[in-house]
Amino acid sequence: MKTGFLYGIVACSKTRVRCVLCGVHIPKANKCIEQHTNGAKHKENVELMTENGITFKDNKLYCKPCMLELSLEDSVIGHTEAESHLNWMAAMEDLIDGEYISIEPFLASEKDDALCEVCHSTFQCTLQNIESHVNSINHRTSISEYLKPLNGIFPVENDDELWCKICNTFIENTATGILEHIDNDEQHMYWFTTIEDLIEEQDITIKSFLANEFDNNAYCNKCHLEINCNARSLEDHINSDIHLSHFS
């Protein structure tokens, strides 16, 4: 009989076994078990486990986010649709959105901790710990420093201010000032939305333009050309014969 993380098959009676991943009973025959464990629905539930922090060990299902051992009548899909689990996942997603915190290895049971990619630190993956971390001064400072070269923000002689190349304006040189400008300034957000919509799937990069104060160009990897990094020049290039010829 197949057992283990990928199978979830446990003895039930003399004639049947149960798949605890799917919450169904199967005839106790190798052919039937093979058919079930190779089926699309079973594989979907295995994927659900890796996305939702559910493990199968010692013939038991355990949900890491909920810190709960599931009953014999529970299934993977049943638990992932439960209100308590959905609430945890939604709250966690809201907390880590835009914070460069990785929890995928935790959910896939590859790691026991969450990882903050900007602070280079790990910590127990709970809602309380994540909330404390993202609101800490150290994290706000680290993430603002991380985002500066991605948003065209540079130091100036006056240490109290920074210069935003995108908006050609000065902003307060604090974590709050940087993040408020990136997240809330209409001109800044409009520029990024416009440019990113234009270059999507065009193999054009603006990374150097954003990271280097005196670089005024985007770069087209298809045409091996520099283009002035503004909406009009980029649109003209994208619609040019030389660029279109690479996509025909």
228 and 236 Cβ atoms separated by less than 8 Å? no
Amino acid in position 162: L
> Quick one: average pLDDT of 119-146?
95
Nearest Cα to Cα of residue 234 among 201, 207, 199, 205: 199
How many Cα atoms are found within 13 Å in the side-chain-facing hemisphere of 127?
12
pLDDT of 129 strictly over 70: yes
| Mean pLDDT, the chain, integer | 91
Query: Is residue 234 very low, low, confident or very high in pLDDT (cuts 50, 70, 90)?
Result: very high
Query: Is residue 6 very low, low, confident or very high in pLDDT (cuts 50, 70, 90)?
Result: low
The residues, any chain, with a CB within 8 Å of residue 232's CB and separated by 6 or more, are none
Q: pLDDT of 177-210, one tens digit each?
A: 999 999 999 999 999 999 999 999 999 999 999 9
Please give the backbone phi and psi of residue 120, each rounded to the nearest 5 degrees, phi first.
Answer: 55, 45
How many Cα atoms are found within 13 Å in the side-chain-facing hemisphere of 86?
6
Q: Which residues pair with 10 in a beta bridge?
A: 18
Q: Is the pTM of this model over 0.85?
A: no
> What gap in Å lies between CA 178 and CA 141, rounded to an integer?
10
DSSP 8-class letter at 149: G
- Give the range among 170-174, 188-192, 222-226, 243-247 with minimum mean pLDDT: 243-247
81 and 135 Cβ atoms separated by less than 8 Å? no
129 and 123 Cβ atoms separated by less than 8 Å? yes
Query: Is residue 41 very low, low, confident or very high in pLDDT (cuts 50, 70, 90)?
Result: confident
Q: pLDDT of 46-64, one tens digit each?
A: 888 899 999 887 777 899 9
pLDDT of 87 strictly over 90: yes
Residue 1: what pLDDT?
Answer: 46
